[in-house]
Chains A and B, each alone.
Chain A
Amino acid sequence: MSAPLLAVENVGMKFGGFIALQGVTTEFRPGRVTSIIGPNGAGKSTFFNVLSGVLSPSTGTVRFKGDDLKGTRQHEFVHRGIARSYQITNIFPDLSVHENVRVAAQAGRSRYNIWTNRKKFDELDARADKALESVGLIAKRNETAKFLAHGQQRALEIAIALISDPELLLLDEPTAGMGPEETKEMVALLEKLAAERTILLVEHKMKMILGLSDRILVLHHGQLIADGTPHEIQTDPEVRRVYLGQNHGYA
């Protein structure tokens, strides 16, 4: 068995008196798609924020490739190999589609160069175009990002996250606010990405998760209540009680 890419040990997160996460212990191995589900307020976003350095956990440790991530600043996470997208579309609205991705690629090598013309970095341009191609946005490369359709903006955000060639990709509801057609395209994109890297996914669309995931984690009131294959999760009585049993209309 391969070594875990990410090991989470007894992670807890408190906001004042509110306990958002409690005693979460799990591991993520390379090359798989793991989905994290749970009712609203279960702690999914908090968990993602801990894994991507937005929050530092109140208790417990997170190890990436064996290194404790404690004290690592948020902007360093991507350099270590952890990239993410956000639940609410998070792009550079007034920059061109190409520049959105190019500027993200640039963060990996020249952050404080005030002298060289940025157009001289051909390799960055090429990489940005390649990333845009892989998410199907190359035809829109010169458009201003804010004028893209919602689904295209979501895809652009994934291109931005992909450009650093992360070993671990965290996607927070990549299909949020999408219609069925856009969702289908996104699922196809995610399937393509899943072949190449380790993906952690927070999602609400159950049908999509069951088809896409190798493994599903269920969070409830900040605690991990189930962990297993899609089939195991579907038949887990505890999960059925707290989550699938509720009338969400997709179980």
Chain B
Amino acid sequence: MNVPSVAAPLAADARKPARLKAMMTTYRVPLSILALCILPWLLPSKALAVNVLIYGVVCVGYNLLFGYTGLLSFGHAAFFGAGAYITGIAIGQFGVSWYLAVLMGVTGGAVLAFIIGGMSTRTRGIYFSMVTLALAQLVYYVALQASTWTGGENGLRGFTVNRINLFGFDINFLDPVNKYYVLMVFAAAALWLVSRILNSPFGAAIEAIRENERRARTCGYDVERTKLLAFTLSGTICALGGTMSALHLAFVPLESLHYLTSGMIVMMTLLGGASSFFGPFIGALVFLLMEDVFSLWTSHWQIIVGSIFVLFVLFLPKGIWGTFLSRVVR
């Protein structure tokens, strides 16, 4: 019979993509960084590449909570905005050096995430989403009212970083390529950190909670505390994205705290695929690319992006990258 001789190579073929996927998982950080290195040369503009970098970091951080812990937050704009505002205020009003300002932005975002997380992670399901939304809107209105600090409706200006000194090298930060690669170091660090968290025992614990909260509790996990830690870590990464955005734009629009920004983060993450490590980054890339292209055609570009988003949710719930991984790479 020649059946086994046919089956054997088939089986070998079937194993190959599985090995490829395992390899992609093992080397996901170096592979992602490699992709980031060539990204600006593939996109129509360097400014777009920087935006992808920023929102990619935000979405990967957001996905730690959404995709891996299973909590749908509608308030992550608060941490993104907090990181941006604190960085901007530190540089513009206190003359702090840029790297210290980044550190302050990230720390401030982490503290805010701890507070908002502490209040919201006690609730579940839709209530959790609503509490995060409400608390984030609270932050928005505080920023709106505290206009002497934040510039109110006009946003925060006046903290342009022209040149930065990096290990003795004086770098022109206004040059888009320089700006991209400096900010890419932060993005790479964030990706590495998130990957490390996902590989850790804590990463296993949050997945267990996503899978079955009751069982996780019965197994001995303090579900509330684990969720709070996941929320704080996730908010911290988003705050890093915010500080990157502040450095990039030399401006913090009030809208960065608005719930529409939170919604955009959710959309990007879903579009790219919440079930995978790099999916949210791909989501940010595709979303911003669509915005870039379609907004040239029509000012109503959101209609097109929104329709595509709906189609994805309905027919490809794993998102672009998740579908690619499960169908092509397997």
Asked if A103 is at the interface of the complex by the 8 Å CB criterion, the answer is yes
Beyond A90-B212, A90-B214, whether A78 also contacts B201 by CB under 8 A is no
Which among A92, A93, A94, A107 is the interface contact of B220 at CB below 8 angstroms?
A107
- Contact across chains for B203 and A118 when beta carbons are under 8 A apart: yes
- Contact across chains for A121 and B219 when beta carbons are under 8 A apart: no
- Contact across chains for B217 and A113 when beta carbons are under 8 A apart: no
Asked if A79 is at the interface of the complex by the 8 Å CB criterion, the answer is yes
Give chain A nearest CB distance to B227 CB in angstroms: 12
Beyond A112-B226, A114-B233, whether A104 also contacts B201 by CB under 8 A is no
- Contact across chains for A74 and B218 when beta carbons are under 8 A apart: yes
A-B contact count (CB 8 A): 101
Beyond A90-B214, A115-B196, A118-B199, whether A78 also contacts B220 by CB under 8 A is yes
Q: Once bound together, how far apart are the Cα atoms of A93 and B211, in whole Å?
A: 7
Interface residues as binary, B212-228 with A (CB distance below 8 Å gives 1, 0 otherwise)? 10111111111101100
- Contact across chains for B208 and A111 when beta carbons are under 8 A apart: no
- Could you tell me how many residues of chain A have their Cβ less than 8 Å away from some Cβ of chain B? 38
- Contact across chains for A52 and B202 when beta carbons are under 8 A apart: no
Q: Once bound together, how far apart are the Cα atoms of A88 and B201, in whole Å?
A: 27
Which among A77, A90, A107, A161 is the interface contact of B221 at CB below 8 angstroms?
A107
- Contact across chains for A84 and B211 when beta carbons are under 8 A apart: no
- Contact across chains for A92 and B211 when beta carbons are under 8 A apart: yes
Q: Once bound together, how far apart are the Cα atoms of A164 and B223, in whole Å?
A: 18
Interface SS, A side:
loop
Q: Once bound together, how far apart are the Cα atoms of A78 and B196, in whole Å?
A: 28
Q: Which residue of A lies closest to B223 (CB)?
A: A75
Chain B positions within 8 Å of A228 at CB level: none
Chain A positions within 8 Å of B222 at CB level: 73, 75, 111
**Which of B201, B203, B212 has the most CB atoms of chain A within a 10 A radius of its CB?**
B201
Interface SS, B side:
helix
- Contact across chains for B200 and A115 when beta carbons are under 8 A apart: yes
- Contact across chains for A111 and B201 when beta carbons are under 8 A apart: yes
Contact residue range for chain B? Answer: 20 to 34
- Contact across chains for B204 and A103 when beta carbons are under 8 A apart: yes
Q: Which residue of A lies closest to B275 (CB)?
A: A94
Give chain A nearest CB distance to B213 CB in angstroms: 10
Docked complex: B9-29 residues within 8 A CB-CB of A: none
- Contact across chains for A112 and B202 when beta carbons are under 8 A apart: yes
Chain A positions within 8 Å of B219 at CB level: 75, 78, 103-104, 107, 160, 164
Q: Once bound together, how far apart are the Cα atoms of A149 and B225, in whole Å?
A: 34
Asked if A235 is at the interface of the complex by the 8 Å CB criterion, the answer is no
Q: Once bound together, how far apart are the Cα atoms of A97 and B241, in whole Å?
A: 37
Q: Which residue of B lies closest to A104 (CB)?
A: B219
Chain B positions within 8 Å of A114 at CB level: 196-197, 200, 202-203, 229, 233
Other than A95-B211, A164-B220, give 14 A-B pairs with Cβ distance below 8 A. A74-B218, A75-B223, A78-B219, A86-B218, A99-B204, A112-B202, A113-B200, A114-B200, A114-B202, A114-B203, A117-B199, A121-B201, A160-B215, A160-B219
**A residues bordering B, Cβ < 8 Å?**
52, 73-79, 83-84, 86, 90-95, 99, 102-104, 106-108, 110-119, 121, 160-161, 164
What are 9 A-B residue pairs whose CB atoms fall within 8 Å in the complex?
A78-B220, A90-B215, A92-B215, A95-B211, A103-B204, A107-B216, A114-B197, A114-B233, A118-B204
